[in-house]
Every structure is written in structure tokens, then in C-alpha cells.
Structure 1
Amino acid sequence: MSGQGLRLADIVARLGGELIGDGDTLICGIGTLAEAGQGDIAFLANPKYRGQLADTGASAVIVPPAAADGTERPRIVAANSYLYYARVAQLLHPTAVPNPPIHPSAVIGEGVTLGRNVVIHAGCVIGDGVSIGDDTVIYPNAVIYQDCVIGARCVIQAGAVIGADGFGFAKDGAAWVKIPQIGRVVIGDDVEVGANSTIDRGAIDDTVIANGVKIDNLVMIAHNVQIGEHTAMAGCVGIAGSTKIGARCTIGGAGMISGHLTLGDDVHISGATLVARNLPNPGHYTAAYPLEAHEGWLKNAAHLRHLDKLAKRVKELEKKLEKSEGKN
């Protein structure tokens, strides 16, 4: 619940959309079609749940135009009902600002620049020379190393580490010699970094995360990576060093991107896919092996081991067939 709530008419006045039904209906919370109750607003984004519209206990619903006649309840018709739900959720559940906004246990280094309305929660460590833009929120126990730059309206979730040393070592016989990582991490505006994710500082040049990028929990971004605007990646993604990823890309959970590659704009990687070559062209790419029963998987895996031999045999048979057809 969110205080006294909002009338449907007030929501539409702020966000647009077409109101059908009683505009005085009071909305205090968000719920799913199956679980919403009195005072809640639910939403239909996936057509397979349309059957739940008739039985929902919600006081009102958000629907796409194709489902506007699927219920008699008060409703808001929006072209993108899922986006509209997100906006309504923001209205009803604004981020709470603690008092004081910078927790006494936070450690703030020398020469740190903080914008307006910055919130830093308990246990955070902000290194020397860090710059943090307006309205950015840093949740408990996040660490931002020296000289890194965080833009405006960013969200850094709990336990994230930004600007730790990249994995840089030179071989000296059987031993390794550490290479000082002297670049920074530079994060643009409206970026979210998930809990316990890590973004390493550059070896020489900066690691750069552009405006609007969304990074889920437990993501690893290595040194000198560059990520373009509005790219999003799900949990457990790993991106090796010096890879460049374009704008508006998506990477599914546990996707792995090898180092020193370039992915163009609008490239979409399925979950658990290993990317080991450049992908300059937009499109959807998948390399994960399909799920099946274990016994069947073992049989197919055995065939894959002999795929090269099978291909050679096919070529030999094609040559023999061509000769046979030539004689005839």
C-alpha cells in the first residue's frame, strides 16, 4: 500500500491512457490478476492470462487495446500495458529517502563529489576522488573505488563493487607479474547495477557503461569493456576484457562473452550462450544446447563427437553419387 493512494482519474491525468469506468476508484497497491484484491490495480501484459480478467479481485486493471472488452471492471487502456504498469508502480511506491540520506557508517574518501539528493546507505565505501551524480542511490555495502564516475539517477544495489582491479598479469616464467590497473570505471546516467555485481576498472583506458544500461545481479564486467546505451543483461552474465557491446543489446542469464570482441547494436544473446566471435550484425543469437531427458542427451552428445567424420563420409558419398550419375 502507498499512503492514501490515487484515483484512477489522477493516474490517467499523470500518465495518459484511456480510462473506462469509474475514475474515482481508489488505487493503493499493485497486484497480479490472480492475487490482487480490493484497492489494487492489476495488469494484463501476456495474452495467455486473459482468462484471469473475468475473475480477478482487483479494483481496476491495465489492459492493452485488444483486451479492452475483456472485463467490466474499471480499466485503463494503454498500448503498452506492461510499461504502463511500471509507471503506475513508480507512482504508488516511490523510493524512500532515509534521514540522513548519507548513513553515518558510510566511509567517504577525500575529494569526493556528490550531486544533489544522493543517497548512500550503511556500510558503503566511496573511494577518493569519486564523482556521483544527482539523485543516485547506493545501497548497503557497495564499494566504489577511487576516481570512478557514477552518473545521475543511477541505482547501485547492495554489495556491488565498482572499480576493483581488472585481471591483468604478465607471465614471467612460471610466475605472474601484476599489471597496475590505472583506468577508471565511468558510468553514465540512469544506469542500474545489480546486487553483488562487479565492474573492473580499466587497465589503461576506462571501462565505460553508457546511459540507461541495466545490469542484473551477479554480473561480472572485466576491464576495458565498453557497453552501449540501453543495453540490458540478466544475472550471472560474464563479459571478458576489452569487449565492446553496442546499444540496445540484451544478454540472457549466464551468457558468456569472450574478450576482445565487438557486438554491434541490437544484438540479442540467449541465456547460457557462449559468444566467441564478433557479432557485427543485429539479430538474435543462440548457442545453448537444447534441454532434453538425460538419456537422450547422452546419445546425441555421442553423435556430436563423430560429427566431423560423418561430414567427411557425406562428402565422399556425394562424390560417388555424382560419378554414378555421370556414368548414367
Structure 2
Amino acid sequence: MTHPATPQYTLTELAERLGAQLIGDGSRRISGLATLKEAGPDQVAFVANRSYLKDLANCRAGAVLLHPEHGAACPVARLELANPYLGYAHLSQLFDPILAAPVGGIHPTAVVAEDVVLGARVEIGPNAVVEAGVELGDEVVVGAGSFIGAGSCIGEQSRLHANVTVCHGVTIGKRAILHSGCVIGGDGFGFAHDGGRWHKIAQLGGVVLGDDVEVGSCSSIDRGALDDTVIGNDVKIDSQVQIAHNVRIGDHSALAGCVGIAGSTRVGRNCMLGGGVGLSGHLTICDGVQVTGMSLVTNSIHEPGVYSSGTGAMSNAQWRKNAVRFKQLDDMARRLARLEKRDQQG
């Protein structure tokens, strides 16, 4: 189950793949990427931020990927593109050996049920477990120590890194990437209280992940209580994110690290949640909402835009003064209203 060596490309080939304008020797062969300071003659560097232009003059790269407006200052061959950062993203995939097409095979220590349906060139690593009724599409990779529960279905070209847990009855689309330690389909946090103790509510739903979803390490997406938890296409989820039962997230949304979403909340399409954002349960967040880091959202949002809550860091002495004033806000508002009413009455 070894992967082929990372390939080399000529600059002409890279320009064609990116749709970039090449200025320089197209026959030069490139074997990797590096920063402007560190790149050598067989590597491509890139400029996506003006603050790094100071390093361009001394660059020794085989070529630099940059915006056309910076081309004249480049001392080596260049690949001009309107969005160099996007171009860098595409190039990075070409030179990542782990993304090479799998050659297929099941490690002798893996445990695979007899009725598992395997597509072409599926790879299952050491000590992985694949239970009964599972379907794995073409070129799926199951990393070492990963677990796929009964009746789950994983679409073609998806990749489970080492020690991923996919519980029973989970559906995952094409080209998903699940990083180590993430758990897809664990029980939602559902309990009923009788006044003295808690009684578990069986979580009978599943989880559905769309195409091109990525889930970071040690993140959890809980199965639904009755209906499924649903993650749309092209959703990107960072590490240590908690998504509770019956949450729905629309296509092309992105969640940064340590986001927590309580049960049955719906997040629209093209939303971005900054690190540490918390969403209360049973909310609706419309399309096109951005919530800045460490904000707590307790009410539904019905208009697209940027939303924030909380206060920024300050000295402890200043914070203590402000904390006292926070408690006085209601009284101050009442006093202000009385003063305004008195002024209006003349």
C-alpha cells in the first residue's frame, strides 16, 4: 500500500493547470513549494500578501506565483495569476504525497466484514475495522486504527486519516477528508430528567456529510435524535469543533477551531464562524453570516452580515471598572429615558 513518489512538473505544465501567465523558461522542472526566503531552483514560491514583497528581490526560486502587478519586481521566472493564494492552494495539492492516488489493498491486520462492498483501489490500513454492511467507494483510504460502523457509506476518493471513528449508519459524500481523532455519528447529548436522575434518550438518527467536506482532528459531529444531523457540500470544519444532534449546516460554510453548536440549530450557506464561537440550540442562522471569534449567539440571525459579541481584552483594572458599569447599565438606561422624557416635555 505504498504511494508513488511525488511527481515533478515543468513550469509550462503548472501554468496550464493554473491558467496562469508564464514568464520565463517553461522547461524548468519543479518538485515542490517553499517560502520566498527558502525556495530553491526546483521549487515555486508565492506572494499573496504585500508584506512579503520585501523578500522578493533576493528570491532564488525556480519561479514565483504572484499577481501581475508585482511581476516587474520578480528576479526569476514567474507565474502571474489574479488570485495567487488560490493558485498556491491548487499547487499544494499537486505536491502533497499523501494525496497521491491510492494503489489499493487491505493490510493483513485490518478486520473487514465479509459483506463490505469495496470500490476500486480502496486502501485499508493496519488495525482498521470495517463492520458489516459498509460501502466504500472507489479510491477510499481508511487510515490505520480507524473504525467504520455497520451500515455506513463513504463516497469515492474520501480519506480517513489514522484513528478516525465513523459510527454506524453514517453517510459521507465524495472526496471527504476526516482527520485523526474525529468522531462522526457519536450519540447526541440527549437525556430526560425525572427530578432525581437522568434517563438517556436513544439517538436514532444518523449523520449525513455532503461532498468535499473536511473535518479537523478531534472534532465531533453527533448523530440525530430522530432525524439526521446534516452537513452540506464543501463545508470546512476545523479541529476540536462540537456539532450537536440534529444540527444542519449549509453548503460552503466554514467553522474555525473550538466552535460549539447546540442541538437543532440551523446554519445557512456561505457562513463563517470564527474560533470559539458558540451557538445556542434551536436557532436559525441565515445565509451569508459571519460571526467573529469568541462570540456567543443566543438569538436567531435573519440578516446576512458580520456579528460579534463580548469585549476585547484589556487590563484587569479597566475590566473590573467596566464590569461594575455593566451591572449599572439598566439603571443608567432608565435614568436616561426619564431625562429625555423630561426634556421633551419642556
Cα deviation for residue 92 of structure 1 reads 1.9
Show the counterpart of 2:78: 75
Pick from 70, 87, 102: which aligns with 2:90?
87
Alignment of 1:151-230 (within 5 A): 151-230=173-252
Residue deviations 1:10-29 (CA, integer Å, cap 9, x gap): 10122211112222233221
Structure 2 distance, partners of 1:4, 1:278, is 49
**Is the contact between residue 117 and residue 135 of structure 1 (CA under 8 Å) also seen in structure 2?**
yes
Show the counterpart of 2:319: 297
1:50 is aligned with what amino acid?
L
Worse-matched range after superposition: 47-56 or 172-181: 47-56
Show the counterpart of 2:120: none
**Is the contact between residue 271 and residue 288 of structure 1 (CA under 8 Å) also seen in structure 2?**
no
Cα deviation for residue 130 of structure 1 reads 0.7
What's the secondary structure of 2:73's corresponding residue? coil
Show the counterpart of 2:54: 51
Cα deviation for residue 177 of structure 1 reads 1.2
Cα deviation for residue 259 of structure 1 reads 0.5
Q: Which 4+ stretches in 1 moved above 6 angstroms? A: none
Cα deviation for residue 98 of structure 1 reads 7.0
Cα deviation for residue 3 of structure 1 reads 4.4
TM-score, normalization by structure 2: 0.89
Cα deviation for residue 59 of structure 1 reads 2.5
Worse-matched range after superposition: 304-313 or 92-101: 92-101
Show the counterpart of 1:122: 144
Show the counterpart of 2:113: none
1:11 is aligned with what amino acid?
L
2:50 is aligned with what amino acid?
P
1:154 is aligned with what amino acid?
A
Structure 2 distance, partners of 1:262, 1:10, is 46
Structure 1 distance, partners of 2:181, 2:11, is 38
Alignment of 1:1-328 (within 5 A): 3=6, 5-94=8-97, 95-96=99-100, 97=102, 100=105, 101-323=123-345, 326=346
Q: 1:52 to 1:167 in 2, by over 3 A?
A: same
Cα deviation for residue 265 of structure 1 reads 0.8
Structure 2 distance, partners of 1:143, 1:246, is 26
1:19 is aligned with what amino acid?
L
Worse-matched range after superposition: 260-269 or 31-40: 31-40
Structure 1 distance, partners of 2:175, 2:229, is 19
Structure 2 distance, partners of 1:68, 1:292, is 43
Cα deviation for residue 79 of structure 1 reads 1.0
Cα deviation for residue 105 of structure 1 reads 1.0
Cα deviation for residue 42 of structure 1 reads 1.3
1:31 is aligned with what amino acid?
A
What's the secondary structure of 1:149's corresponding residue? strand
Cα deviation for residue 9 of structure 1 reads 1.1
Structure 2 distance, partners of 1:173, 1:308, is 35
TM-score, normalization by structure 1: 0.94
Residue deviations 1:196-231 (CA, integer Å, cap 9, x gap): 110000000000011111111111000000011111
**Is the contact between residue 36 and residue 58 of structure 1 (CA under 8 Å) also seen in structure 2?**
yes
Q: 1:109 to 1:60 in 2, by over 3 A?
A: same
2:275 is aligned with what amino acid?
G
**Is the contact between residue 41 and residue 60 of structure 2 (CA under 8 Å) also seen in structure 1?**
yes
Worse-matched range after superposition: 87-96 or 187-196: 87-96
Aligned residues: 323
Cα deviation for residue 312 of structure 1 reads 1.9
Structure 1 distance, partners of 2:198, 2:6, is 59
Structure 2 distance, partners of 1:74, 1:219, is 42
**Any unmatched runs of 5+ in structure 2?**
106-122
Show the counterpart of 2:117: none
- What is the percent sequence identity of the aligned residues? 46
2:213 is aligned with what amino acid?
V
